[in-house]
Amino acid sequence: MASLKALKLRIGSVKSTQKITKALNMVAASKLRRAQQNAVAARPYSARMIEVVGSLAAKITPGPQSPKLMVGTGKDDTHLIMVATGDRGLAGAFNSNIVRAARRKADELTAQGKTVLFYIVGRKGRPVLQRFYPKQIIAQFDTTEIKAPSYADAQAIAKDIIDRYTTDGIDVVHLAYANFRSTLVQEPTVDQIIPVPPRADEEEASGPASLAAIEYEPDEEDILNDLIPRAIAVQVYRALLENQAGFYGSQMTAMDNATRNAGDMINKLSIQYNRTRQAVITTELIEIISGAEAL
């Protein structure tokens, strides 16, 4: 049986932990609202940008002047998966779910005979990926100093990815992140961002709209070379915003559960402490009574 001193120290330790988890829960809740607003506000712009570029990709006939970011390299051998996670833990399975989705995609591509490489955004994804794919991580973008994702950060990441795509023999680029649904649900997603996938409805469309000619002013190549990197940066930006909202939602839920679990443990330890204390008092009373009777 644990001593009274040990139980008292344990109760004090759990109470201190409970204060920390409650504070983290309140901090995450206060930051979640702004992060959620930012993520929701970015969705229509991102969806419309993907729709426009995907529509163009479906209508353009590939040629030597067509941007590689839109028509691809003509091969499907080397795939780069950009894994965007958080820099901190204490958020339940948020980071591990993103990494797990990226690993599933990597295993699927590897089974098809493809070469898979990884580009890591955030700190939490590297330890797991390095354990399973030690030679396939080509770079990591440091986000430890970024408190709130900005479009400039997304542009820097997108530029680095595009540069590697054009120089490192990469054929397809995927983006793994978590779609924020609610504080309880963050959906791990892996989307192809390079080359730009054509819209499914454009591929199946028929009628005058699908046969319409597209005229570019001033020049097709200049417009697409400017538009497509912007579209990729917008998708990266949206992923960063979705991740931030998802992280705070997961952290708030995890810390709320931890706070309640700590409360349950304090109650159990308090009951055990009171029973042990009562047993000690009873034993002392018995000794006193036995000693008095012996006299």
pLDDT score, position 205 = 46
Residue 40: φ, ψ to 5°: -65, -40
User: What are the start-end ranges of the H helices in the chain?
Assistant: 4-59, 68-71, 94-111, 126-132, 151-167, 200-204, 220-294
Using the structure block, give the residue that is written with the tokens 């590939």: 62
Q: Which CATH number fits domain 21-254: 3.40.309.10, 3.40.1380.10, 3.40.50.300, 3.30.1490.20?
A: 3.40.1380.10
pLDDT of res. 265 = 92
- Determine the pLDDT at residue 92: 83
Q: According to the model, what pLDDT value does residue 59 have?
A: 67
State the pLDDT at residue 207: 45
Mean per-residue pLDDT pooled into runs of 10, the chain (295 residues): 80 91 90 89 87 73 73 85 87 89 92 91 87 88 84 90 87 91 84 79 47 61 80 91 90 90 91 86 81 71
Closest CA to 90 of 254, 204, 238: 254
Give pLDDT, residue 48: 86
Residue 96 burial by CB count (10 A; 0-12/13-18/19+): exposed, middle or buried?
middle
Domain boundaries, the chain: 21-254
Model pLDDT, residue 200:
60
pLDDT at position 208 is 44
